[in-house]
Structure 1
Amino acid sequence: MSRNLSSSMNITKTVIETEQGVVAAQHRGAAEAGAAVLAAGGDAVDAAIATSFAIGVVEPWMSGPAGGGGLMLWRANEGRAYALNYGMRSPAGLDPADYPLNKGGKSDDLFPWDTVEGERNVHGATAVAVPGLVDGMGKMHERFGTMPWAELLAPAIAMAQEGLLVDWFAALNIASSTRSLAKDPDAAALFLEDGQWPTVSGWTALAEKRLDMSGMARSLQEIADHGARALYDGDLARMLAKDVQAKGGALSTDDLHNYHAFFCDPLSFDYRGTQFDVLPGLTAGPTMREAMQVMAERELGATPDSKAYTAYADGLNQSYATRLASMGHDGETHGHEGCTTHFSVVDKHGNMVSQTQTLLSIFGSRVVSPSTGFLLNNGIMWFDPVQGRPNSLAPDKPCLMNICPALGSKGENRFAFGASGGRKIVSAVTQLSSFVADFDMDLAATFHQPRIDVSGGETIVADETLDDATLEALRATRSVTTTKRTLFPYAFACPAGVMRRNGKNSGCTEIMSPWGDAIAEDKGTI
């Protein structure tokens, strides 16, 4: 959709408020599955697991069992947070010499790396990293789950058996990657019709088009029957590794067998009396903390005006300089959007989950494993193909991720925020968090407030609805481009969040997301 939206359009989303649990996700169907688990007596962890698998079916180009990510968990009865990292790793058998550089030129995907011959680090099986999502959900369930594992996967299996409905937004996403999907016969068979993007359901209100997800359904059933490690130690592992190697990739059964997601202490910090918990390590959590440390030294005023937004710009600019210098150069957002999803959950007891999962690029490696039905990640693209740098491509190495799931508490009130959008994520989560911490906004005001994006480049991208004084203050120090919040593409990150405020729970997603929604537990369906 063009960025030139009609000036008469006024986009808002209704924010529910309830004493029941709430799931806010980038696809309504996945949120409904999680809410139904809450209604069946599950807690926030159970709902998160169900939502995680379901969203991998209904928006498979964003995440899925062959992806990775991380989450933050708040346990209300313990009064503490937990961090779980299930990020991807490079295969142990990967050889950097197999990724020779072209002379000149930059990649046209997410990051402007020096180009690799044949874009082997971006497209195809050579871009596939060791997936972590399924093991991460298994670790979560082992430690905190209250409902049977198989019951939590049942909604996703049912959705896969039914097939993915191709509505206008699904067709638009598929159309955006038709050329690259056509290069892999199995991806083409799953997503395309005669090499073209599929017919849109409901175009004449008579036809219904669904993608055949039966292969994924069978694999999910195997994981439901035999547990999360079925993808890492069982027949699924052998089939997945065989498929990747047959297409030229390095993923092996040993890589899968040796993979383990891990719990770790959260990175906790105070910001003006609001306590935050984020993921540590090779994530955007440390970047968010540094940005807010800079902001804490500034006077922001009573409302989010020019003082606040210039503080956001300065904090994010400084924290990105640190990130790129010391954590690894994760590149400047370039070309396409990231293939990531985020959802947040709060249950009636106050437990919360903030969870981000990803394949990295949209449609990941654009390769489907025919034996498992899984669309595969392209996590190798997270690494710099130039050797001798902090984030250079190497075997058996964790990926530097942009994810930033966050938990916050201000008095008795709590919130769980996160977003998709590659390097745009930390800008969004930092500002959303400030709107609550500094200006005491409720969830509706927080998600409708204009934002800027500062992602380490020379230019600030600003919502054109910001007032002139704010835009002029930003222009005084940096180049500024203004734009609308649009349906497609997203100029800013795509957040989802929940809040517990004065004993009531609420949820909201990016106001421009046509699929995103927040569902209370009494509205959940399986």
Structure 2
Amino acid sequence: MDRRTFLASASAVAAAPLSAQQGRPSPQPAVPAPGQGGAPTRTGGPLPGRWVEGEARFVRPDVGPGDRPVGASFASRTAVYGVSGAAGTAHPLATQAAIDILRRGGSAVDAAIAINACLGFLEPTACGIGGDCYAMLWDPRTRQVVGIAGSGASPRGLSLETVRARARSGVLPPLGAVTVSVPGTVDCWWELHRRYGKLPWAALFEPAIAYAEGGAPVPDIVSYYTRRSIAAFRRPGTGIEEVANALRTYAPGGEGPSVGQVFRNPDLAQTYRLIARGGRDAFYRGEIAERIDRYFRRIGGWLRADDLARHRSEWVKPYAADYRGVTVHALGANTQGLATLQMLNMLERFDLRAEGFQSPRSIHLQAEAKRLAYEDRARYYADPNFARVPADWLVSKDYAAERAKLIRPDRINPAVRPGRAPSNGDTTYFTCADRDGMMVSMIQSNFRGMGSGLVADGLGFMFQDRGQLFSLEDGHPNIYAPGKRPFQTIIPGFATRGGEPWMSFGVMGGDMQPQGQTQIIVSRVDYGLDVQSAGDSPRWHHEGSSQSMGEDGPGLPATGLLRLETGVPDATRAALAGMGWAIGEPDGGFGRYQAVERRLDGATRVWAAASEMRADGCALAY
């Protein structure tokens, strides 16, 4: 088949005319968590004839995309190409800032820091300096993939007894000071810049300061999620110690910015100025640290200046697994990065190419691999400074072979459990590349929604609620402890081929991230999709495991819920239900993807960058 004209076969997309006209049934209603997910697809009834003003979505499952003359029929756009540099982010202004930094002679690390600072203002629904940050990059000097973990620990003055007293049904609340851990982002930027930066530190904050002071129109997705989060913060019984600062910062008009409304954050601009002048110490030891300490004392929280002063990022060696000739790299530490490698190791045992793109068997095998990997994720993943994580065993081919035997080719496994280890042994993603061959894959997040709901007096950023992912179960490796890093969902992606860099990529979105990364690799390696169409391809998202990590909604079936985007063929949807899967309607929780691919035209290096349609962003190259 010609790769430039990728069309689904008739057998894969055949569907009953009635279901195409009336929409798809929804056995399980969508129940998005506060600050996450999107408006559910309409099901049943007449299809809308126009987009009603005030509605967040205009859903017509019977209407497909326009016809492109080349490429995948479902692709939203063409990848962008350049020879000097490239970037893909979730906001066009952040992408533009990255290209400006690269044109000024900055490194890919310089551009990534500038991107992240901009997104802290432009996309506060997903990230900010109140959260954590992880990165992998290709170092052209050492010709290695390098990793860094910018993850903060829980306050040392917050005891397990206090945490348990604040828990609800054995789970930490999603909002309030009890979920706040030390923000790791600024120190992560600092360490990256010390090793790989070219431009002066202060120069990297100039675009973000200009945007935050002058203002920028708010795009659709950011507006939608800001308003959802503001509504969640105002809801009675949330337990948030104070919401006035958050409302003053993000919803001065009451509900949050509408689409196209110019939003400003002068407090954040001033905070960025302090960091630009004083470096990481301004945040962790200087004026900002003092103001954070005073704020949490005022509201009865636990984060203190001493917690901030103790924080340090950690350079880590990524783990890797070969998948049909492509080496996929992932961070271990306290992240879920190993799950991507576990899934791919199991899937390598099956001939997905023969099963076919978007076929029932292909999605079934991938989702079953997810279920098995996530059982191990719930059992073993934790801060390795506090628990023994059997990472080498988890990502081994021998273990994958044993786990793959549990996957039935035509029927869901009714019960899966974690393997037994040997006894001896809302997020934003962005990527960029520079003229020297460096590629940076970076992900940053405040965790659920906009974060904890807490904004320190006059600082203009929200603190993360990552502590909600701690376990409260005695003996669990991820059990809460003072000064411990919680389990992290945010993971950058990177792939090499033949010892050369191939693709820096990521799919944001909580537990969707390993699932999304796996689908990207499968789409590219097994189904031949290009860097753009791999991101635009319809996705699946499985929710649930035997041990919740604080992400799943209530009332899930015993085998979890398999959500399918509307682009998944109806015949595939019906066949999966016949295999025993509980099928759920899409809820907007399928992640947002960016990527940069390295290509060669003879001896000339070419960058190909992509940004999918699920985000407000774009990719640029020059």
Cα distance between partner residues in 2 of 1:245 and 1:507: 46
Q: Does 1:280 align with 2:339?
A: no
Q: Does 1:461 align with 2:559?
A: no
State the TM-score, normalized to the length of structure 1. Answer: 0.87
- Name the residue aligned to 2:427: 340
Q: Does 1:154 align with 2:206?
A: yes
* Contact in 1 for aligned 2:122/2:218 (Cα 8 Å): no
Count of residue correspondences: 488
Q: For 1:357, which of 433, 444, 458 is the aligned residue?
A: 444
- Name the residue aligned to 2:609: 507
- Name the residue aligned to 1:410: 497
Map Cα deviations across residues 223-261 of structure 1 (whole Å, 9 max, x no partner): 111112211111211111211221121111111111000
Cα distance between partner residues in 1 of 2:462 and 2:203: 23
- Name the residue aligned to 1:519: 620
User: Could you tell me how far 1:100 is from its partner in structure 2?
Assistant: 3.8
CA RMSD of aligned residues (A): 2.3
Q: For 2:369, which of 301, 315, 329 is the aligned residue?
A: 315
User: Does 240-249 or 167-176 show the bigger shift?
Assistant: 167-176
Alignment of 1:39-118 (within 5 A): 39-101=103-165, 106=169, 114-115=170-171
- Name the residue aligned to 1:401: 488
What amino acid is aligned across from residue 188 of structure 1 in structure 2?
L
What amino acid is aligned across from residue 245 of structure 2 in structure 1?
D
Assess, with a 3 A threshold, how the Cα gap between structure 1 residues 468 and 490 changes in structure 2: closer, same or farther. closer
Q: Does 1:498 align with 2:596?
A: yes
User: Could you tell me how far 1:271 is from its partner in structure 2?
Assistant: 1.4
* Contact in 2 for aligned 1:383/1:399 (Cα 8 Å): yes
| Runs of 4+ in structure 1 over 6 Å off | none
Q: For 1:238, which of 290, 301, 321 is the aligned residue?
A: 290
Give the match's secondary structure for 1:176.
helix
- Name the residue aligned to 2:422: none
Assess, with a 3 A threshold, how the Cα gap between structure 1 residues 197 and 285 changes in structure 2: closer, same or farther. same
Alignment of 1:63-212 (within 5 A): 63-101=127-165, 106=169, 114-115=170-171, 119=173, 122-182=174-234, 183-193=242-252, 196-198=254-256, 200=258, 209-211=262-264
User: Does 278-287 or 165-174 show the bigger shift?
Assistant: 165-174
User: Could you tell me how far 1:174 is from its partner in structure 2?
Assistant: 2.4
Assess, with a 3 A threshold, how the Cα gap between structure 1 residues 14 and 319 changes in structure 2: closer, same or farther. same
User: Could you tell me how far 1:401 is from its partner in structure 2?
Assistant: 0.8
Map Cα deviations across residues 132-177 of structure 1 (whole Å, 9 max, x no partner): 0000000000011111111111111111212353455443222212
Assess, with a 3 A threshold, how the Cα gap between structure 1 residues 193 and 445 changes in structure 2: closer, same or farther. closer
Q: Determine which structure has more spread, i.e. the larger CA radius of gyration.
A: 2
Alignment of 1:295-334 (within 5 A): 295-302=347-354, 303-304=356-357, 305-327=359-381
State the TM-score, normalized to the length of structure 2. Answer: 0.74
- Name the residue aligned to 2:322: 270
Map Cα deviations across residues 394-446 of structure 1 (whole Å, 9 max, x no partner): 21001111122111123456111112111111100111012222333211221
- Name the residue aligned to 2:99: 35
Identity across aligned pairs (percent)? 26
Cα distance between partner residues in 1 of 2:428 and 2:325: 30
What amino acid is aligned across from residue 493 of structure 1 in structure 2?
G
Q: Does 1:368 align with 2:426?
A: no
User: Could you tell me how far 1:286 is from its partner in structure 2?
Assistant: 0.9
User: Does 459-468 or 496-505 show the bigger shift?
Assistant: 459-468
Give the match's secondary structure for 1:61.
coil
Cα distance between partner residues in 2 of 1:102 and 1:260: 28
- Name the residue aligned to 1:8: 63
Assess, with a 3 A threshold, how the Cα gap between structure 1 residues 413 and 67 changes in structure 2: closer, same or farther. closer
- Name the residue aligned to 1:109: none
Give the match's secondary structure for 2:610.
strand
* Contact in 2 for aligned 1:53/1:64 (Cα 8 Å): yes
Unmatched segments (≥5 aa) in structure 1: 107-113, 203-207, 330-338, 522-526
User: Could you tell me how far 1:199 is from its partner in structure 2?
Assistant: 5.5
Give the match's secondary structure for 1:498.
strand
What amino acid is aligned across from residue 479 of structure 2 in structure 1?
S
Cα distance between partner residues in 1 of 2:588 and 2:512: 10
- Name the residue aligned to 2:533: 445
Assess, with a 3 A threshold, how the Cα gap between structure 1 residues 379 and 164 changes in structure 2: closer, same or farther. farther
User: Does 53-62 or 172-181 show the bigger shift?
Assistant: 172-181
User: Could you tell me how far 1:115 is from its partner in structure 2?
Assistant: 4.7
Assess, with a 3 A threshold, how the Cα gap between structure 1 residues 355 and 413 changes in structure 2: closer, same or farther. closer
What amino acid is aligned across from residue 270 of structure 1 in structure 2?
D
User: Could you tell me how far 1:357 is from its partner in structure 2?
Assistant: 0.5
Cα distance between partner residues in 1 of 2:296 and 2:466: 14
* Contact in 2 for aligned 1:419/1:494 (Cα 8 Å): yes
Give the match's secondary structure for 2:315.
strand
Assess, with a 3 A threshold, how the Cα gap between structure 1 residues 498 and 200 changes in structure 2: closer, same or farther. same
Map Cα deviations across residues 335-361 of structure 1 (whole Å, 9 max, x no partner): xxxx21111112233321111101111
Cα distance between partner residues in 1 of 2:190 and 2:465: 22
